[in-house]
Structure 1
């Protein structure tokens, strides 16, 4: 079993387990490996250097891992405590804002134009790109 430290095009770091180097290469070339944070398939293997002393970098790595962990916890809490209205997000946000629908926390999909229109109407929305992988329960 090979364990590799991987990184996506958006600098999200994660770990991957493969039966061999060839297994990693074939899965990566077939775009079967996805970043657990943003679902990007542009994945690179980070160099491993177990013989180097990186004690000064351990604190920075630990901080990055802690921030990533907190971000994932926050996203999962948002997903658990909001209603997914999907493509109807802009319409539902307006209905809530104008008291035409019950006040509740929602999430969904909106285009850049819809987001701008909601903001112009004084409707507070927060764009938060959430990977579909984060919307599922952890194994």
Structure 2
């Protein structure tokens, strides 16, 4: 696990955990990161100092276990937000059709009347999301709590 300090275009800072740096890159590239304060999707990594463990006797696993916050250690307002995000994911998964990486194509079919209107969710690239916006196709990027955290 890796923790990044992130910042939105409104200068709000917040921490986020990712499985690895590739997971951050994938979520950022897909426009899936949003500011918990204002909802902005313009997110970037903030300048951070590396965490250095002075004790070489501990294994990497022990160090990660000791420094990774558990849900019960989260500030109450962050735990409440996380609970709402878990509930949002469950609501979306129960009421909308998952279309995976075909999200942009399916959204266009609905918008242009090629298929019956229905709720969908999935993934799309930031370029495709921009193209959908330019076409006037309404959608909402949402912060997604991974199933392993739900």
User: How far has the Cα of 1:132 moved from its partner?
Assistant: 4.5
TM-aligned CA deviation for residue 112 of structure 1? 0.9
State the distance in 2 between where 1:128 and 1:64 align: 16
Number of the residue aligned with 1:112: 126
Q: Secondary structure at the match of 1:94?
A: helix
Residue number among 21, 25, 39 corresponding to 2:62 in the alignment? 25
The match for 1:9 is 4
Question: Aligned match of 1:92 in 106, 129, 138?
Answer: 106
Classify the secondary structure of the residue corresponding to 1:9: strand
1:133 Cα deviation from its structure 2 partner: 1.6
Distance in structure 1 (CA, Å) of the matches to 2:118 and 2:93: 13
**Runs (5+) with no aligned partner, structure 2:** 6-14, 18-57
Q: Which has the larger radius of gyration?
A: 1
Secondary structure of 2:75 counterpart: helix
User: What TM-score do you get using the length of structure 2 for normalisation?
Assistant: 0.51
What's the TM-score once normalised by structure 1's chain length? 0.55
Secondary structure of the structure 1 residue equivalent to 2:99? strand
Distance in 1 between residues matched to 2:107 and 2:117, nearest whole Å: 9
Q: How many residues align?
A: 98
3-state DSSP of counterpart to 1:91 = helix
